[in-house]
């Protein structure tokens, strides 16, 4: 996995909703807030399955209904397409839960 | 839920394995390391069920096979017996996984 090029970076990051660059590190971050712990952990469980399948695991902090996620590709020492894909999956799953 | 008294605190904290007091806050913390993400998230799932049933939720940070946990009772603004009980359940579940 190669780090994102400058043009990929500009294009792909612009396509993400609510993600921001982490200061001092080539990573992206988003703060998710769900209805309650049940919804937050249900979301984490769906993400965990995908993370394991992709062999690409998030850094995440949870307390009650909040989950703070940081994505970066440790092997590439920075952002790659896998982080973009993971961010998209996380957003899809979160949207699904909010519809309920 | 009342905060732990000094005598309860001395007795109950001494009975915990690997937990330490958090500086600047009435909370306890432990860093768990599992075999892999599968084991770490399996453990988190067992804990999540108990947390929901107790209505007592941890603050936890996970990356791959590591989980850093902080326990405190927000309503009591400090440590209570529920934190001790949660710490014990977490240790029990972790021991179960390590036996596998």
> So what's the pLDDT on residue B98?
60
Interface contact B57-A38, CB threshold 8 A = no
What's the pLDDT at A97? 76
> What secondary structure letter does DSSP report for A80?
-
User: Is the CB of A5 inside 8 Å of chain B's CB atoms?
Assistant: no
Please determine, for residue B44, whether its predicted confidence score (pLDDT) is greater than 60: yes
Say how far apart CA B35 and CA B22 lie, in whole Å: 26
pLDDT for residue A100 is more than 80: no
- What domains can you pick out in chain A, each with its CATH number? 6-99 (3.30.1360.20)
Does residue B1 surpass a pLDDT of 90?
no
Interface test with A, best of B34, B40, B62, B64 (most A CBs within 10 A): B62
Give this complex's ipTM. 0.93
pLDDT tens for B45-99 read 999 999 999 999 999 999 999 999 999 999 998 999 999 999 999 999 999 876 5
Mean of per-residue pLDDT scores for chain A:
94
B33-72 residues touching A, CB cutoff 8 A: 37-38, 41, 44-45, 48, 51-52, 57-64
Give me the residue from B38, B45, B52 closest to A37, CB to CB. Answer: B52
DSSP for A21-62 reads EPTTSS-EEEEEE-SSHHHHHHHHHHHHHHHHHHT---EEEE
Give residue B100's pLDDT: 46
Number of H helices, E strands in chain A: 3, 4
Contact B1, B73 (CB under 8 A): yes
Task: Give the global pTM.
Answer: 0.94
State mean pLDDT over B10-33. Answer: 94
CB contact (8 A) between residue B52 and residue A58 = no
Q: Are A18 and A88 spatial neighbours (Cβ–Cβ below 8 Å)? A: no
User: Rounded to a whole number, what is the distance in Å from the CA of B31 to chain A's nearest CA?
Assistant: 13
**A9-49 residue pLDDT tens:** 989 999 999 999 999 999 999 999 999 999 999 999 999 99
**The pLDDT of residue A74 is above 60:** yes
pLDDT at A98: 60
CA distances from A53 to A97, B8, B28, B38 (A): 21, 45, 33, 11
Residue whose entry in the numeric block shows the structure tokens 């732990």: B4
Least confident interval from A65-69, A75-79, B44-48, B80-84: A75-79
Which of B59, B92, B71 has its CA nearest to residue B19? B71
Query: What pLDDT does residue A7 have?
Result: 93
């Amino acid at each position: 996995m190669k780090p994102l090029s400058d043009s990929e970076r500009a294009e792909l990051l612009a396509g993400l909703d609510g993600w921001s660059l982490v200061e001092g590190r080539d990573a992206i971050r988003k703060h998710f807030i769900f209805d309650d712990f049940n919804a937050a952990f249900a979301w984490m469980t769906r993400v965990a399955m995908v993370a394991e399948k992709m062999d690409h695991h998030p850094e995440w902090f949870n307390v009650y209904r909040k989950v703070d996620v940081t994505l970066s590709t440790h092997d590439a020492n920075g952002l790659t397409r896998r982080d973009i894909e993971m961010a998209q999956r996380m957003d899809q799953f979160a949207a699904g839960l909010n519809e309920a």
